[in-house]
Structure 1
Amino acid sequence: MPLSVYEINKMPEKERERFLSVLIPSRFLEMFSIDPGTFENNDGVRCVKFICPENMPFFQIDLRRDPRDRDAAYFLDVSNSPFGQMEISFIIVNDPDGERFDIDVDENGQDTYFGTARRNLPEEIRAMQAGLAPAQVRRGLRAMPELIACWERFFGQVGHRFYFLEPLSYNSAILYERGGFQYVRGKEKMVSIDREFRPGGVLHARLDGSTPFRDPEHWKTVRGRSWAIHDGVLDEPWESPKMYKTVGVHGGVSTFTGEGY
């Protein structure tokens, strides 16, 4: 039988940390001079936290270049679904040396929940102009292939043939497609979005320059489309599709026919 998150969380601490460490790309440890055995940096300060509450259906990994850093360089939340499947519930990857864009708080310091509850428009504009996608507070580390390789190894070890996630944004869904994920739910919507962003489509017509996020050229790129969707260009709010990856198999799905990321 496959291991569950509950069983992992009940492991002895040191054994559990070794077991979960396969989820951390080795490049991250090397980049921040973190010892893979002790998870300490060159100053002897521990930089990786494993949050594994017993009798709870999730665990988290939080890696920071320095524990005092505002943002994690890598944060991963894995949970058990009600059906016994494992899901990647949340993931963050940040380059701590990259400029920060405060899209996660508004002008009054209130949490925007990455722009889903309220928005910080000046910071979003700055982030977009710097080449970031919605929900990014810093540039990433260009690590998707490494992350998926780690996930494949882990989920294979625990005996799960499939694992699941729900992308927070349109651009994330496209990146996961390129990484080999397929759709449980939402592929038809993604195909429709692609069609309607192309010349002659409803969404293409809405890229009228009425806001900075609706530039007429945004239909061409994944990021441009994602910012327009974040700005409400769809007829309804963005609903995250449900995606899955078969361990060791690339799904070969591609719903984007634009010109670049």
Structure 2
Amino acid sequence: MIDRATLAQAVTLDRFTSPDGAPLNSLLAINQLPVDCRDAIYRTLLYDKLLARFNIDLITLRNPLGEAVVVIDASPRIGAVEIKIWRQLADRDPVLYFQFADTATNQLIVLLFVVNDPTAPRFDVDRDWGGEPTKFGTLSRNIEAEEAAMRAGLAPGQVRRGLRISREMVPVVETFISRLGHEYYFLEPLAYHTAILFESFGCAYSHGRKRMEWINAEFAAPDGELFKRLDGSTPFRQPGAEKTVRGRSWAIHDGILGEPFTDIHMYKHIGFPAQHLTFPGGAW
């Protein structure tokens, strides 16, 4: 159990430090601390408003059923961390899932950031007809579930609607990264709509901006290659899909590019948001 003094110390210091006062600058360094010290630091990533919404105690991290519903997976052998927050352990999906890692150049990358509303209907896009994982549609797909999710207003990869708190949580994440002494962090969007969302957070492209601009141009122009491929040949390629971020993302998920949506790399300079949008004025 982490006491209040330990938790308060982690929250109030400008830089994260080890017990001997040495500044910490990587997840690996955090993971090699005693577990109480390690977890006190990672607790600063927990959003109080989210915990309060599901009546999770900030100190004990237990729900009203007495269940420990925050899981921190941080091996001392690797520079990575996974954090899951559950409403209750019987739920199929966590409310919040983080996955961060150190890079080879001692920077930090956000690998996954998922928010689920546990009260919303679930769409099994993450499992194919045989019950096998689809890996975000890269290994296989559940077309029936994807159609239903799309009609319900979800984007590719979403099993439930979110809680509309991602933007509120950006300062929490950036404060954590700043306290490791970093001015930048990196992201790799897994889908078109994720890249557009990251743009709205002030992220820029280290690789892939020209491709994103090409995608916009080819969807926007009536004689554009992607516009012409919205021919109604599948439920995900309906005319008019070019008008929205979700519509474009579903078409891309359906293979309209003729190749996977990969190799898009982004970064954020903390305190200096980029202003470049590759789908300016696009409706979600």
What's the TM-score once normalised by structure 1's chain length? Answer: 0.97
Quick check: 1:112 aligned with 2:137? no
Per-residue CA deviations over 1:100-120 (Å, capped at 9, x if unaligned) read 000000111011112111000
Residue 144 of structure 2 aligns with which residue?
Answer: 122
For structure 2, the residue ranges without an aligned partner over 5 or more in a row are: 1-22
Quick check: 1:100 aligned with 2:128? no
Residue 56 of structure 2 aligns with which residue?
Answer: 34
- Residue 203 of structure 1 is aligned with which of 214, 226, 250? 226
- Residue 182 of structure 2 is aligned with which of 144, 160, 178? 160
Structure 1 outlier segments of 4+, above 4 Å: none
Aligned residue type for 1:82: A
Distance in 1 separating the partners of 2:90 and 2:40: 24
Kindly indicate whether the alpha-carbon contact (under 8 Å) linking 2:115 and 2:166 is maintained by their aligned counterparts in 1.
no
Helix, strand or coil for the counterpart of 2:71?
A: strand
Q: Please state how far the C-alpha of 1:240 moved relative to its aligned partner.
A: 4.2
Helix, strand or coil for the counterpart of 2:198?
A: helix
Residue 243 of structure 1 aligns with which residue?
Answer: 266
User: Structure 1 pair 259/248, CA: closer, same or farther in 2 (3 Å)?
Assistant: closer
Distance in 1 separating the partners of 2:24 and 2:148: 45
Distance in 2 separating the partners of 1:173 and 1:51: 26
Per-residue CA deviations over 1:211-238 (Å, capped at 9, x if unaligned) read 0000101000000000000000003211
Helix, strand or coil for the counterpart of 2:236?
A: helix
Largest Rg, 1 or 2: 2
Q: Please state how far the C-alpha of 1:8 moved relative to its aligned partner.
A: 0.5
Distance in 2 separating the partners of 1:37 and 1:16: 15
Kindly indicate whether the alpha-carbon contact (under 8 Å) linking 1:162 and 1:244 is maintained by their aligned counterparts in 2.
yes
Kindly indicate whether the alpha-carbon contact (under 8 Å) linking 2:188 and 2:264 is maintained by their aligned counterparts in 1.
yes
Quick check: 1:224 aligned with 2:237? no
Per-residue CA deviations over 1:21-75 (Å, capped at 9, x if unaligned) read 2212222101111111111112221110111111112111010101221111111
Kindly indicate whether the alpha-carbon contact (under 8 Å) linking 1:144 and 1:179 is maintained by their aligned counterparts in 2.
no
| Greater CA drift, 80-89 or 171-180 | 80-89
Distance in 2 separating the partners of 1:240 and 1:30: 37
Residue 70 of structure 1 aligns with which residue?
Answer: 92
Question: May I ask how many residue pairs the two structures share in their alignment?
Answer: 261
Kindly indicate whether the alpha-carbon contact (under 8 Å) linking 2:218 and 2:224 is maintained by their aligned counterparts in 1.
yes
Quick check: 1:260 aligned with 2:269? no
Q: Please state how far the C-alpha of 1:258 moved relative to its aligned partner.
A: 5.4
Q: Please state how far the C-alpha of 1:2 moved relative to its aligned partner.
A: 5.5
Identity of aligned residues (%): 42
Root mean square deviation of aligned Cα: 1.2
| Greater CA drift, 21-30 or 72-81 | 21-30
Quick check: 1:214 aligned with 2:237? yes
Helix, strand or coil for the counterpart of 2:147?
A: helix
Quick check: 1:132 aligned with 2:177? no
Distance in 1 separating the partners of 2:162 and 2:24: 32
What's the TM-score once normalised by structure 2's chain length? Answer: 0.89
User: Structure 1 pair 182/2, CA: closer, same or farther in 2 (3 Å)?
Assistant: farther
Q: Please state how far the C-alpha of 1:259 moved relative to its aligned partner.
A: 3.8
Residue 17 of structure 2 aligns with which residue?
Answer: none
